[in-house]
Each structure stands twice: as C-alpha cells, then as structure tokens.
Amino acid sequence: MSTVGFFGAVMLKFEQEQVVSELDILAVAKVHPLYLQALKSVYRVHELAHEGDAAAWAALAPRIVGVAAGGESSVPASLLAQMPQLQLVSVFGVGYDGVDVQAAIKQGVAVTHTPGVLSDDVADLALGLMLSVARTIPQADQHVRQGRWPAGPMPLGRKVSGARLGIVGLGRIGQAIARRAAAFDMSIAYTARSEKPASGWQFYASAAELAAQVDFLVVITPGGQGTRHLINAEVLKALGPKGYLINVARGSVVDEEALVHALQAGVIAGAGLDVFADEPNVPEALWSLTNVVLTPHMASATHQTRRAMADLAFANMQAGLADQPLLTPVPECLAARQA
C-alpha cells in the first residue's frame, strides 16, 4: 500500500470510529434529509422504529435519549412514556402542536423548535398566495399554456396593493407578513391573544371582528387545541363575498368543512391554502374550485431555509445531549426551567 493509501485508510478508520456515538435517537417521522444526515453523522438514528417490529421497539425504547421530529409530527404522552431515558425532542419546524409538551416537561424532557429562521419564507409565501388567488396567476398561466390567449383576455383580477389586510396571529411570521404588506401600501389590522400597542397597527379582539374589516385575512397562529377552528363559519361570513382567506398556519385552525362550503357558496371570494386538516390529504371538493390556490405545506421549503432549520434543529439536539444550554427551547420549557 502507498503512503497516501495507508494514511487514507487510517483516516477513514479514524472517521468511522469517531463519527457514530453510542447515543440512540428516534426519528418519529420522515425528517428532512439535511437534518437526518447531520444526526446520522453523530448518533445512531432509528427511523420510525416505534412503528416497526414491536419486540425490537420494546428493546430499543429504553435506550432512546433524543427524538427528532418535524413540525407536523405527533409525539404523544403515550410515546414519551415508553422512553424513560429521553432527554430531548428537537423539532425541525417552529410549530410543535403535535408534541405533548406538558407531558414532556413532567417527564423532564426538553422540547426545542426552529423559530425565526423560517419567518421570511413563510411570509413570502403568504404574500405569494395572496397575489396568486387575487390576480389569478395559476389560471393566467394555464390561459397562456393552453393557447387561449389569442381567443381573448383573462377575466379581471382583484387589486392587492392598497387593500385592507387582517392578520390572525401577530407573532414572528405575522409581523414579517405585515412588513411586506406595508410595502404594498396595505392597511394592517390584526388579532392575537394580546394587543401589541407598539406595533402601531389596529387591534381587534376577535377573528370575526377583524374579518369584518378587511379584504384579505391571513391566518398565522400556532395549531393545537388553543386555536382549533378559530376560523369558523361565523368568521368566514364576516369576511364576506369579496374577502379572501389565506392559511399558512395549520389546517386545524380553520374549520375546513365550513371553508369548503363558503368557497362553493360564494360566502367568501377565494382562498390561498398551504395547510390542511388531514395532510397530505386535501378534500377533493377543493381541487375543482377555481377560486382557490393550493400548495402542499411548503411555506418554508427553500434550500436556504431548510439548511438553516436543519442546522438549528441539529444544534439543539447536540446541545441537549451534551447538557449544554439549548439554543431555542419552546416557550413552555423555558418557563418551566425558570419556575
């Protein structure tokens, strides 16, 4: 063997021995490849092991110290209880409504997420959906591709610039949406759990009151029981036949049955939807409606943001398992630690 070959082989052996630790991680969902790759470079990762052979899972579960999840993943108390050595659930996503955080806290398990790094992308898509549905961009694309342009123009759209925007949930992403909308000369109003006087934007105490005052209603709250069906038939009626609903939050926040009815019956003008009640299943009734733009939960799906999310989710996992301060624990965990 040449000297280069010898050192190459030694380095390979060194790397192989260095990289995989004795720590076992459960990936509870098909987590993003960038996150998975980083985890696999350090830990023994068991993908969906809890859904596989029951005996193998029973043998493995007591060794699991970390759980890797996505924003839509389910991590119920019943699963947490099977992993007595568990230290951390690191979510690749800012939303963590599928994780039973109170059960985790009781068990001494920390939960982390990826706030901030995806706000720009989600806000961009919210604006994109607004423009798409109001200016009928998908239909216009088809109009050209299907050779219908020579036969006549498209029907007119609805102007977005200068329109009235209502934001349900004025957090990190809600504020990023508002900043973009300001550049479109839109007036901005919002609802949230608490008023934010420093924002300078008009506050309404309920989604229905807000909906009655705006042309576009953008939903960007967390999911979970606290916001379930916050957007219901009453809110849609208040939005009215000239109003548009944009949902980039969670499918659970909108009463989907009421929404389908509202779109079919002209209770509202249209909708732009990135999230659905039973993903990846989208009600077939929505497929045929021309006043709806549908995207497959892709608001944060850019190369740049997925990289940043993977880096942050992985850094949280490493910190948690090395007993270092967590970078971005969910607020409930932070509060529990400070109490």
**Is 234 marked active-site?**
no
Q: Using CB under 6 A, which of 23, 34, 66, 72 touches ligand 8YV? A: 72
Q: Which residue has the tokens 């576009």?
A: 216
Does 223 bind ligand NAP (CB under 6 A)? Our answer is yes
* CA 288 from centroid of its chain's CA atoms: 25
Does 112 bind ligand NAP (CB under 6 A)? Our answer is no
Nearer to ligand NAP, 66 or 93 (CB): 93
**Is 250 marked active-site?**
yes
As to burial, measured by CB atoms within 10 angstroms (0-12 exposed, 13-18 middle, 19+ buried), residue 13 is exposed
Question: What b/e sequence results for 109-122 when a residue is b if at least 16 CB atoms lie within 10 Å of its CB, and e otherwise?
Answer: bbbbbbbebbbbbb
Does 186 bind ligand NAP (CB under 6 A)? Our answer is no
Q: Which residue has the tokens 């989907």?
A: 256
Quick one: angle between helices 303-321 and 33-40, nearest 10? 30
Which of ligand NAP, ligand 8YV, none binds 70 (CB below 5-8 Å, type-dependent)?
Answer: ligand 8YV
Q: Tell me if 258 sits within 8 A of 246, measured CB to CB.
A: no
CB 31 to ligand NAP: min, Å: 15
CB 188 to ligand NAP: min, Å: 14
Q: Catalytic pick from 32, 50, 113, 250?
A: 250
Does 188 bind ligand NAP (CB under 6 A)? Our answer is no
How far apart, in Å, are the Cα atoms of 241 and each of 168, 209, 214, 286, 333?
19, 16, 12, 17, 43
Does 114 bind ligand NAP (CB under 6 A)? Our answer is no
Cα 76 to Cα 153: distance, rounded to the nearest angstrom? 53
**Is 256 marked active-site?**
no
Does 221 bind ligand NAP (CB under 6 A)? Our answer is yes
Which part of the chain contacts ligand NAP (CB under 6 A), choosing from 55-63, 157-165, 178-186, 191-199?
A: 191-199
Q: What is the dihedral of CA 170, 274, 111, 329, to 10 degrees?
A: -40
Beta bridge partners of 189: 166, 202
Nearer to ligand NAP, 154 or 301 (CB): 301
Q: Using CB under 6 A, which of 80, 94, 220, 313 touches ligand 8YV? A: 94
Q: At 216, phi and psi to the nearest 5?
A: -125, 130
Q: Which residues bind ligand 8YV (CB under 6 A)?
A: 70-72, 92-95, 118, 297, 300
Q: What are the residue numbers of the active site?
A: 250, 279, 297
Q: Which residues bind ligand NAP (CB under 6 A)?
A: 94-95, 115, 118, 122, 169-174, 191-194, 220-223, 226-227, 230, 248-250, 274-275, 297, 299-300
